[in-house]
Amino acid sequence: MAAITMAEMWTTVGSTIASFMFVWTIISQYCPYEVCQFLEKSMHRLMSFFNPYIHVSIHEFMGTRLNRSEAYAAVEAYLSTNSAKSAKRLKLEMEKDSKKIVLTMDEYEKVTDEFQGAEISWALCTKSPKPMGNGNNSQPERRYYNLTFHKRYREMIAESYLEHVMKKGKEIRVKNRQRKLYTNGARDKYAYPRQPMWSDVPFEHPARFESVAMEAEKKQEIIEDLLTFSQSKDFYARIGKAWKRGYLLYGPPGTGKSTMIAAMANLLNYDVYDLELTAVKDNTELKKLLIEITGKSIIVIEDIDCSLDLTGHRKKKTDKETEDKNEEEKKQTNLKNREGKGFSKVTLSGLLNFIDGLWSACGGERIIVFTTNYVEKLDPALIRRGRMDKHIELSYCSFEGFKVLAKNYLLVEAHPLFDTIGRLMDETKITPADVAEALMRKSPREDVEKSLSKLIQALEEAKKEAAMKKAEEESRVKAPAKDDSLLQDKKETEEPQSLDDGAVLL
Ligand SMILES: Nc1ncnc2c1ncn2[C@@H]1O[C@H](COP(=O)(O)OP(=O)(O)OP(=O)(O)O)[C@@H](O)[C@H]1O
Ligand SMILES: [Mg+2]
């Protein structure tokens, strides 16, 4: 009896809904758009009077269809993890600039979320656009997320849940995005329509800190410094400092400066802006470039010592020789600039402003990296703490560094030849680039022993070369000394003569 009653009840409910839908379809087909809207709104008002649930909608586009709402994108990313688990109809999407495919819930699907004991439900809805005057309705439907929760959670949702969704969603988006390597050197300034200040390619450098050859302690210190910086938004705001940090990487060629920049970008998930200073016309253009740099980025100026003549005006001219040398260097730099992308008028003060002037605070979360082979050539103002906060020296390969490379290249952590290599490394200098080259397999048949022997050979050659250089240097130093002693002998033989002369005179 009860079962029949239930069946009857469901039939009644079903037929009521069906007739309501039928009436609504008739109304929406024959009534003018404005009347439908009015009826819909009135129905909403009536229902919300009895309904204890609150609805929040987040639209995909606000106003124009040009800019997708950041909030909508964040919700979409946030829900992608949830929807993949619980929604039954999913959509596979690959956003522009995203390196991953994302599964999001399809239209009219619902997923639930839980936060601080509250049950929250999300649905993806669509809305037909207002028809055009001529009855033509070519505009696509507008999508929006509908968030529903009980009114007793109103405060908690407004104060913490929405912030949590935005934060997590943005984090997922940052993680999924295709990072970019930007350059200002490839722009055709005379092209029409005007090209953007920066051109980009996907950033796909595979360098990681684990594969950088350097002392473990030093490496750990750099990693911690970078991670602390990236998590210190509130700290920088509290101390009233722009959220940026400067790193100066210096050392001989082939010691891993560029590799480290790539490892930094991969660790922090940042974009890289490779700034070619010689291609920047003047300080104004430098400022324009700065404005277009987004947050979460590393701005790199490689070989800063030979980018521009940034030191010339400040150096004291001590003697004729240094003056001539400076002049020669200046000429070389100017020549390079002209040969390159035009004669740059960027000045030292322009660059200092770029690093920490008022404009440098736009965007936030930026790291500026300078690299150089000759740190002593740089103007002290350019690299003082506060501008270049951390100075990192990348030097010749240590035995510890070699072990990192051996583990990477040959997958070995110990070998009888390691002792010989360690001894030779104490006796001579070799760059990590040279070690890496020696350890590189030249054929699939090459085994560990052969690669290590190649390295021993390279080390012995480097040792021999260093000894020859030293001997040459010593003979050069000795030669003038020998000349001096000859002069001295001559003087000594001449002096008694003058004395004699004097004696004669007296
Ligand atoms: N510390 C290192 N750890 C791991 N690999 C390294 C290291 N240094 C150099 N290498 C290897 O040597 C190659 C050249 O290194 P990199 O370009 O980073 O040197 P650099 O210091 O930037 O040189 P330059 O001053 O000439 O620009 C890299 O591709 C990498 O394979
Ligand atoms: Mg380099």
Q: Is the pLDDT of residue 336 over 50?
A: no
At residue 108, the pLDDT reads 79
The side-by-side arrangement of strands in the sheet containing 118-127 is 53-59, 142-150, 118-127, 110-115
Query: For 268-299, how does the pLDDT look when each residue is reduced to its tens digit (9 = 90+)?
Result: 999 999 999 888 888 898 988 998 898 899 99
Task: Check if 435 has its Cβ closer than 6 Å to any atom of ligand 1.
Answer: no
- For residue 365, report the distance from its CA to the centre of ligand 2, in Å: 23
Q: Is the CB of 135 under 6 A from ligand 1?
A: no
Which residue's C-alpha comes closest to atom 13 of ligand 1? 433
Confirm or reject: Cβ of 372 under 6 Å from ligand 1: no
Q: Is 301 exposed, middle or buried (0-12, 13-18, 19+ CB in 10 A)?
A: buried
Taking the centre of ligand 1 as the mean of its atom positions, its distance from the CA of residue 294, in whole angstroms, is 27
- Strand arrangement of the beta sheet that strand 297-301 belongs to: 199-202, 180-183, 271-274, 297-301, 366-372, 244-250, 390-393
Write out pLDDT tens, residues 135-191. Answer: 555 666 788 999 999 989 999 999 999 999 999 998 888 888 889 999 997 666 676
343 pLDDT higher than 50: yes
Ligand 1 contacts CB of residue 375 (under 6 A) = no
Q: What angle do CA 158, 162, 163 make, to 5 degrees?
A: 105
Q: What is the 3 state secondary structure string of 451-497?
A: HHHHHHHHHHHHHHHHHHHHHHHHHHHHHHHHHHHHHHHHHHHHHHH
Give per-residue pLDDT as tens, 73-92.
Answer: 899 889 887 766 667 777 77
Ligand nearest to the CA of 262: 1
Q: 417 with 452: CB under 8 angstroms?
A: yes
CA 33 to ligand 1 center in whole angstroms? 67
pLDDT attached to residue 498:
38
Q: Which pLDDT belongs to residue 408?
A: 92
Give the ligand 1 atom nearest the CA of 397: 1
Residue whose pair of structure tokens reads 């009857």 in the numeric block: 8
Q: Residue 36 has what pLDDT? A: 77
Do 286 and 195 meet the contact criterion of CB atoms below 8 Å apart?
no
ipTM of the complex: 0.98
Distance between CA atoms of 129 and 369, rounded to whole angstroms?
49
pTM for the full model?
Answer: 0.71
- Is the distance from the beta carbon of residue 430 to the nearest atom of ligand 1 less than 6 Å? no
Q: Give the distance (Å) from ligand 2 centre to CA of residue 348.
A: 22
Residue 213 has pLDDT above 90, yes or no: yes
Cα of 455 vs centre of ligand 2, distance in Å, is 22
Q: Output the residue whose Cα is nearest ligand 1's atom 14.
A: 254
CA of 330 to the centre of ligand 1 (A): 28
